[in-house]
Chain A
Amino acid sequence: MRAHAARPVRKGAAVAATRLAQRLAALLGSLLGGLFASGTARAIPLPEDKGEAMYHLYEGGGVTAQGPALLVRKSLADKVSLSGSLYVDAVSNASIDVVTTASPFKETRTAYDLGVDYVYRDASVSFGMYHSQEPDYTADSFSLDVSQEVFGGMTTVAIGFTRAIDAVEKKDSPEFSDYAKHWQYRLGLTQVLTARLLASANLEVVSDDGYLGSPYRVARVFGAAVPERNPRTRTSRALKFRLIGDLGERNAARVEYRYFWDTWDIKAHTLEGGYSTYFGEGWLADGLLRVYSQDKALFYSDNATTETTYVSRNRQLSTFRSYTVGGKLSYVYKRVPGQYEVKLNGSYERIQFDYSDFTDLRTGKPYEHAANVLQLYLSATF
């Protein structure tokens, strides 16, 4: 930024205003030119051909969810990149809800998705389809995302849309059948700030319509268990800012913050920081810390003492905090430059959930539990 020499005030201000207008016009022209450029030779590459195979485990609060997941991505004729993935979640649920109000159960969720990515000059277009199936819940969605690099590749603008329709059923109750529809709109901006610093901002709005609770869960009103009653619509917004910087000596650090608010009056803050460092021959280590805090939904009650239209004792809607500490190790198992690379990865996270207004009915104290999250996976680029 240059300092301008002092000039007669009015003339100076007029000149500055004219220049400002000219420069704003130039900036707008450059933006639009970048968006609709046809003369630039540079093009962004297709996503790398890749395979991932993972075993994942979540264990905590009486719930164990584990299973395999696979992903393959391959480009065709350097024009499009196709991807497909399969994800299996075998759940054994003896959570506090289940233990205090129902019976433990086991079920398996299977999900798969297919995607197509297409790049043209500095723009990329992605289309995806997703299907998830469990005995009493089926979800289908499709999504479209477009991103465009501008300012000589220093800025990336992305917009996206997902439309999802779920079928909600209740085991052993064929008379129960409902739906949930979701609309997701997202907007993203990634900016190269310096040769060592990247920033991004993301906004996502999600609107839901339909059955937005669980047909098994109960609420407490005057100490008695009653089926929960949730509103049939919800709109949420989330705004996230991220910063990642190279610290030299093959180290990097990142920090991110997300603010969330919705029409159920939940407000949440998520703060996360991470550090990555290469060491030895082919090793990469990552560490992270995450703090999450939320206020309860308007109609959440541990034990309601008035009759209201909506009432829920879903602890996901309560006031609580969670703290996460985690680490990850990656090792380059085999690398043939220009041909392929195979990495072995392992990650572990420990989460502590502390609920402020969800009573453990077995002890009469606020509920809390810890959880372990494990991922073991192989990733290969070819």
Chain B
Amino acid sequence: MQRLAGLSVLPAAALLAGCAVSMPEPWVKPYERERLADPIMKFSRDSLPDRHREHVFVVREGARGATGAQGGGCGCN
């Protein structure tokens, strides 16, 4: 029984150890990020239209926050 429990722990530990060893190594090198640098891969491309859109929703919906934008303050109630 104990052996069975040990057997089930081993792969999990090995998996974690495997993850731990690969995580600190950046697996996408800077020279491989050309596609990520394209404007269509940005969460926010232009500041003013995003702020306006955020304002449109925040003054009409109960939810707010976690937009990913810095700063804040909407002057609305």
Binding site for B on A (CB under 8 A): 1-4, 9-10, 12-13, 16-17, 19-20, 23-24, 26-27, 30-31, 52, 54, 56, 58, 69-71, 85, 87, 89, 109, 111, 113, 115, 126, 128, 130, 132-134, 137-141, 143, 145, 151-154, 158, 160, 162, 164, 166, 168, 180, 182, 184, 186, 188, 192, 194-196, 198, 200, 202-206, 211-214, 236-240, 242, 244, 246, 250-252, 254, 258, 260, 262, 264, 266, 268, 270, 276-278, 284, 292, 294, 297, 316-317, 322, 345, 347, 349, 351, 353, 373, 375, 377, 379
* Residue of A with least CB distance to B5: A9
User: If A238-B63, A239-B66 touch, does A166 touch B56 (CB 8 Å cutoff)?
Assistant: no
Contact of A13 among B6, B21, B72 (CB under 8 A): B6
User: If A13-B6, A58-B56 touch, does A238 touch B66 (CB 8 Å cutoff)?
Assistant: yes
User: If A16-B10, A252-B40 touch, does A9 touch B3 (CB 8 Å cutoff)?
Assistant: yes
User: If A139-B75, A195-B35, A196-B35 touch, does A238 touch B49 (CB 8 Å cutoff)?
Assistant: no
User: If A52-B48, A194-B28 touch, does A260 touch B63 (CB 8 Å cutoff)?
Assistant: yes
Say how far B37's CB is from chain A's closest CB, in angstroms. 10
Range of interface residues on B (Cβ < 8 Å): 35 or more
Q: Would you give 15 A-B contacts (Cβ < 8 Å), ordered by A? A: A27-B20, A85-B48, A111-B75, A128-B71, A140-B73, A143-B72, A143-B73, A162-B72, A186-B66, A194-B28, A196-B35, A204-B65, A240-B67, A244-B41, A379-B46
Say how far A153's CB is from chain B's closest CB, in angstroms. 6
The reply to whether A1 and B70 contact each other, CB–CB distance below 8 Å, is no
Contacts of A26 in B (CB 8 A): 20-21, 24
